[in-house]
Structure 1
């Protein structure tokens, strides 16, 4: 793995004529040399419009090759701020103003409320015009200017700003430097033994850290390719797998479960698919789902542990094994420790808060001293996750600290209950959550999606859970639903679920 520390250096490493950016619509691919040339032209074009290192550029593009290449090319000479294309005008206005965007990039002719938000804020709009090859583009529009800091970005320049997905509080800005994100790309490449022979089928949204770093940056940093889809579609996934013949893909658990549900009817495609590995991250994958995916695809499923503030990857199950279902593996990048409430590092086997430090970890939230005072302790970043190292040094997450259910003083880990409920043969998906209770404070509830054609009563599932869980952990209320509410990146929404399902006290 070459020692790159900026996105431009990372792109310089790829074999010139080999494909870098591919697309599912049958367009010719963009080579590594072509991508390098695109990045140079883009930095020059931005500099000519007065945008240089440290200036923020909001990017609102649909998933696809241009979104991937635009992120890479803009990052080489400015700071990228990718935004969810599904936002409303007021959301675009909030995020663009919050990060102090100097420009907005949208697809030529695209009708997006981001345009109106930019107009209100006086932010110039640049139109991305796709080229013939996948991911190739030119920028049109904007006004001429002189960049204060022209040229290629340096290691300590901010490459990417993202907002945390706060459930109640105002979202915090996470600035990630070139040093942060290229370190994470190296860590992922090493964990998965990525090489120029590899191609990742990207089904993750590209306004999210998982898709940007694991699928795009890690692939290109290893000299390989990324095949960009228009976004996750369980109905098209197997056709893409057959036509594009990727060596791996990375996804969140809800996507893996949707793929697994359609696997049986696509057995012939799976049999001829050259998948070397599958990767899961961004939420906990139930052990039975991991085992079913490995058996179905006859390839290792590597579960990794990631978060925005760590430029994605923190821990991972090793590719060569042993891979432990329900555990997120060994430290795979930053140092990881378990800490008590007073800031003391705990020994192996003790439960506490997961803390991290290393080259891929953000130096702090932007303009938020209060959040930084809470987040950093003795040089460690507090993840907000509770966990424990087993005897082999593998990390088991026991839940988000703010999601632990406090039932009359007894703490229940929703992840543990999810794992037990998911092991029932009739259960396709399960999500455990807190229901407000007048006497106990909180009670245990679960939302469950059944497998197609299967039947199960609430009583039967509770009896099954009681064989594996202490009585206070068994859900008192099980709601069978056709689908569990998900966020924009496919993550299941645990907090606030009781209210959504009408179960609030």
Structure 2
């Protein structure tokens, strides 16, 4: 199989009559139909005045149309999937930062993104699906607009996908991923998992996130296989979807695996009737106990992988049998080169020494968009600094020992503490605010905050949580808000996020 460097070529892998996209209670979309849909979509975008490298924001619910919209639009423009749960303020930031040429929503959508786009003068393009037709089939409808990028299918150096990743600064960073980046990552996942045209992935991951887009959708299509697109994750419906889809594998974050395990005993028949080949876990650390329970329950290997947006997802992966899987590690380099660099300087460290995880390879972004300061910090001698701390053993297996960045990793959702700080500070009763991570037994980390009230002001924890929920998506809202007379500071006067949960006695 030749190494595709753009999504149009990647889609050539599947046999014409083989299923590509499936969904509950719908006939499957074949690979030939998907290729035709992609070509028709590129032509339609061109007629609307949208071309290569034009950013197109996509706000759609999880499901087959979100999968096909990502794939088809990326063949001729730049996709920018956004979380449908965002509030108006968040959509306003992302649409502005992207300089979106258009917003794609489903016909009849009530998303607040629509009003924001209209206020910004961003044209609305409606995705019209056929509920009785093949899963994922759609047409785009909208008014033509002037200008736009070059017409025709995108090539390997065009930007296929833009996602934001939040740091500890107030401004999330834009990660442009070129066609060659996402195709390399899809190929790396295909090789690591041994995917073939016989494989079908049950996708329960959100498709505004790099994990679902690349690991579930693009890797499957690049293998000539298929994806069964569930309408989001619902642990109560998982086993019915397992029975209907009859997948060979699924990929998820640890919290999803734990929810599935909690219902596995009463669904033994469904598990036995739809045997899997493997289970994949990524986006957050998988507790070894959960890995063991999954392998015992499903009688298949559980493959833990390590990914991030800047690497178009996969960097390392535990290998398939007969090579050993090491619980607690994220496996061996699986595509890009992976090394450990001294946290100060550029020296690469030998096995057994702890430092910053660095990567380089075809799947790695060439740099953040319009952010020279971030790029200067992120790249050293051609290596991308992940911000994660880790150690590689003598066998080449990587263990992540901590994060250098102060991101909160809530079950795989990365949250910028500074973003939450700034919303809390907008409350009239709040004088200072500091957001930080606290341990959580299922999510790994949860959002917490401490505040100092302004003189003479009062506020309750419930009031502040409600205030944040009006501005930010639910997963960013602090689950605990504590009131202090003074926020702890370090020797230089810098507010101390790291270790604050322990100092305040907040434990899992």
**Where on the TM-score scale, by shorter chain, does this alignment land: which range?**
0.7 to 0.9
**What is the Cα deviation at residue 448 of structure 1?**
3.5
1:167–1:218 CA distance, 2 compared to 1 (3 A): same
Aligned residue pairs, count: 434
CA deviations on 1:427-484 (whole Å, 9 max, x unpaired) are: xxxxxxxxxxxxxxxx99744369xxxxxxxxxxxxxxxxxxxxxxxxxxxxxxxxxx
Once the two structures are superposed, the pairs formed by residues 353-372 of structure 1 within 5 Å of their partners are: 353-372=356-375
Partner of 2:114: 115
Task: Tell me how large the CA RMSD over aligned residues is.
Answer: 2.9
Aligned to 2:173: 172
8 Å Cα contact 1:128-1:137 kept in structure 2? yes
What is the distance in 2 between the residues matched to 1:316 and 1:335? 12
Q: Deviations over 1:5-59 (max 9, x none)?
A: 00000012211110001002x1111000000000011000100111100101000
Equivalent residue for 1:460? none
8 Å CA contact retained: 1:47, 1:145: no
For residue 190 of structure 2, give the secondary structure of its aligned residue in structure 1: helix
Q: Is the 8 A contact 1:385 1:400 kept in 2?
A: yes
Point out where structure 1 has 5 or more consecutive residues left out of the alignment.
406-413, 419-442, 451-486
- 1:222 is matched with 223
Matches within 5 A, 1:200-279: 200-279=201-280
1:373 Cα deviation from its structure 2 partner = 0.5
Task: Choose between structure 1 and 2 for higher RCO, CA contacts under 8 A separated by at least 6 residues.
Answer: 2
Deviations 1:301-325 (A, max 9, x none): 0000000000000000001230000
Match of 1:347 in 2: 350
**Is 1:373 equivalent to 2:366 in the alignment?**
no
Partner of 2:385: 382
The corresponding residue for 2:299 is 298
| Whole-angstrom CA distance in 1 between matches of 2:168 and 2:236 | 31
Of the three residues 314, 323, 326, the one matched with 2:325 is: 323
Structure 2: tracts of 5 or more residues without a match: 412-435, 444-472, 481-496
In the alignment, the residues of structure 2 paired with residue 488 and residue 206 of structure 1 have an alpha-carbon distance, to the nearest angstrom, of: 18
Offset of 1:502 from its aligned partner?
7.8
Alignment pair present for 1:401 and 2:404 = yes
Matches within 5 A, 1:48-87: 48-87=47-86
Post-superposition shift, 1:166?
Answer: 3.3
**1:114/1:445 CA distance change after superposition, 3 Å:** closer
Between 29-38 and 260-269, report the one with greater CA deviation: 260-269
Which residue is equivalent to 1:30? 29
Match of 2:422 in 1: none
Aligned with 1:332 (options 322, 329, 334): 334
Residue 466 of structure 1: aligned partner: none
In the TM superposition, residue 89 of structure 1 has moved relative to its aligned partner by 1.3
SS in 2 for 1:367: coil
SS at match of 2:405: helix
Distance 1:50 1:447, change over 3 A: closer
Cα distance between partner residues in 1 of 2:243 and 2:294 = 17
**1:102 aligned residue:** 101
